[in-house]
Chains A and B, each alone.
Chain A
């Protein structure tokens, strides 16, 4: 297997003491801490989800009284979004982006450490709510005036936690942009960057533009709650609808913040395990930028039933987003077409992503049809949509990333057999848990209810969904066991266990503190592939008629 000059394994890295971890500014250590923290919050949020599903398994009260139920789903949504998906993707990006562009670290290492430490801090503040007589209970969207009038410290803690969490996101966005613009290795032009880096670039721009707006909304809410402000109170001239506008101006770009880097992971994994270049690299870059840009023009599709939005604009923009997303979908499949596909665990999760995200994306297109959304809004259909894109999409991408980059981070490959058990359980569990929600939603089951009437005919599908949820939970056990045994085993993965294309595989596993001793020359988006196979393969110029027969025609 062809690799660059081998480095003696650096032992400083893996044997670092606790103190070193706490004070580190090394992007790789920070990345690992991000990922670890995010996994802890994933399991926490998942346990809350099991609470929800247990409660809804049958009509009546099983486990959670209404008051507690409301706290649980609010904390579930908030945790999964702000403490699982966002830090997890930021963590992988932290570890991988500097390696993929051939940099020694992030542009501002100390700010990077600060960004990380704000995450556990915000998580602790958020969960403190349970200890102060009740966590936030107004939903992850915390619509005013409900969120402005709910008594209890939980909601205030929620606000403060999200402001800190947002600060972390803003700082890390600045850091990624500066890193990507200023620290690329010689030869690494923008159009030779791996797609994962591109998605992180666009995501950072989205964060930079969207999160500060959420911060201003949160501050207004805090003032309404604590200092008699009237922003969302119509009695003194405020406007409740404004919260929704400001929240969703952040909230919709937020969902692309959560999917784009996962798409980036998929775009790394598919080519490697198909042994083909990414089909339509430039189209991919364009589609990513287009999704990011359009993402700022669709926020009011969450507000179709308020009667306070201009439908044609928002419906059109929402529909339009399907087009660049479709381009990605087809390009991914074309990447696999005529490849030599090996189904390692990361590849399985990538294929699982394509199949599940497709369902979630099409669900979204239903909601773009405004009158259809009148039927679907705030029903379990939406819950189904959001889990197909967030769990079937983002979380599958995260699992792919976990299996794919684990050898780079720890020098050992996760066990393939356990990985396949994990994938199988998770894939079936996902469809079992979230598919029936479509049927519940279209037949009128509203979301965010602790109980439903037995006559509604919703029991069977709810029970099925609960079974699926527990299956997902079961799928996490082989993962945890896998990590445990692998870390105790030999670290013998080598530098480039997957026959990779990008620069992170050109250094040791794990890399030394300064990342690279020698960098291969960068003359395409697959520098390592060029090194191994010669540039000729890599440089077949795209899109000339002579190749027309080679796509999946």
Chain B
């Protein structure tokens, strides 16, 4: 009979080597994996977009991809929205740096600004939608409309999800629940927020710039 090593009872295992660090690492890994799946989700939409675009070549943004006589133009409002969303990534990161240094109110301020920028982005996107719909570009007005609203719409839904996350963080932050060591939730939301920002940059580039 071999030596029987008396090991730690499992319960103690992850807690023994720096309890919070272990749990936080697991949570962040979970968030990264979740984002991987999100990348594949948007990847599916982008793949369909590029495939359909390639099929139409020079006919892109002409019938039948858009209704006869309708042009797709970039509303300046979208550029503003883009800049604001990019700024919000910086304010988010600023919040992370603050809390890592243990500066709770600094973090709360940064999160509040980020949240505000997110809400403004959504409002501007809604306004842009209303303009486009008035011009006759709709979900059912040809493949361009279907692609445009599906891609930007699902991105918008993700921004909304991020805004909700930020609101939770803000509430918890205001209640003083985070500290320099203890802020996994903030880190997780920030990873998510950066991801949402990157998706928008990709969307903006493909839908508006490379069209």
A residues neighboring B (CB under 8 Å): 2, 4-5, 102-104, 107-108, 170, 173-175, 177-178, 181-183, 185-186, 208-213, 215-217, 219-220, 223-224, 227-231, 233, 235-239, 242, 245-246, 249, 514-521, 530-535
Instruction: Report if B208 contacts A (CB, 8 A).
Output: no
Can you identify 7 A-B contacts, CB atoms within 8 angstroms?
Answer: A175-B30, A178-B29, A178-B30, A182-B29, A212-B41, A237-B64, A518-B4
Identify A229's interface contact among B25, B26, B139, CB under 8 A.
B139
Are A223 and B150 in contact, with the CB atoms below 8 A? yes
Contacts A213-B44, A237-B143, A520-B5 given; does A245 touch B37 at CB 8 Å: no
Q: How far is the CB of B166 from chain A (nearest CB, A)?
A: 21
Are A212 and B38 in contact, with the CB atoms below 8 A? yes
Are B44 and A216 in contact, with the CB atoms below 8 A? yes
How far does the alpha carbon of A246 sit from the alpha carbon of B64 in the complex, in Å? 22
List residues of chain A with CB within 8 A of the CB of B43. Answer: 212-213
Contacts A107-B30, A235-B64, A520-B4 given; does A230 touch B48 at CB 8 Å: no
How far does the alpha carbon of A517 sit from the alpha carbon of B11 in the complex, in Å? 9
Q: How far is the CB of B157 from chain A (nearest CB, A)?
A: 11
List residues of chain A with CB within 8 A of the CB of B179. Answer: none
Are B56 and A237 in contact, with the CB atoms below 8 A? yes
Identify A185's interface contact among B10, B26, B64, B143, CB under 8 A.
B10
Are B29 and A209 in contact, with the CB atoms below 8 A? no
How far does the alpha carbon of A102 sit from the alpha carbon of B33 in the complex, in Å? 22
List residues of chain B with CB within 8 A of the CB of A516. Answer: 9-10
List residues of chain A with CB within 8 A of the CB of B176. Answer: none
Are B41 and A216 in contact, with the CB atoms below 8 A? yes
Instruction: Report if B86 contacts A (CB, 8 A).
Output: no
Q: How far is the CB of A494 from chain B (nearest CB, A)?
A: 18
Instruction: Report if B185 contacts A (CB, 8 A).
Output: no
List residues of chain B with CB within 8 A of the CB of A5. Answer: 4
Instruction: Report if B177 contacts A (CB, 8 A).
Output: no
Q: How far is the CB of B102 from chain A (nearest CB, A)?
A: 26
Contacts A237-B65, A534-B2 given; does A231 touch B13 at CB 8 Å: no
> DSSP majority for the B interface?
helix
Contacts A227-B140, A521-B5, A530-B2 given; does A174 touch B30 at CB 8 Å: yes
Within 8 A of A (CB), among B50-78: 51-52, 55-56, 64-65
Are B10 and A103 in contact, with the CB atoms below 8 A? yes
**6 closest A-B pairs by CB:** A228-B140, A216-B44, A237-B143, A521-B5, A212-B41, A212-B40
Are A102 and B10 in contact, with the CB atoms below 8 A? yes
List residues of chain A with CB within 8 A of the CB of B45. Answer: 216, 220
Are A219 and B52 in contact, with the CB atoms below 8 A? no
Q: How far is the CB of A309 from chain B (nearest CB, A)?
A: 13
Are B51 and A208 in contact, with the CB atoms below 8 A? no
Are B4 and A236 in contact, with the CB atoms below 8 A? no
Per-residue A-contact encoding for B23-34, CB less than 8 Å = 1, 0 else: 001100110011
Are B7 and A518 in contact, with the CB atoms below 8 A? yes
How far does the alpha carbon of A212 sit from the alpha carbon of B11 in the complex, in Å? 34
How far does the alpha carbon of A107 sit from the alpha carbon of B8 in the complex, in Å? 18
Are B9 and A237 in contact, with the CB atoms below 8 A? no
How far does the alpha carbon of A237 sit from the alpha carbon of B65 in the complex, in Å? 5
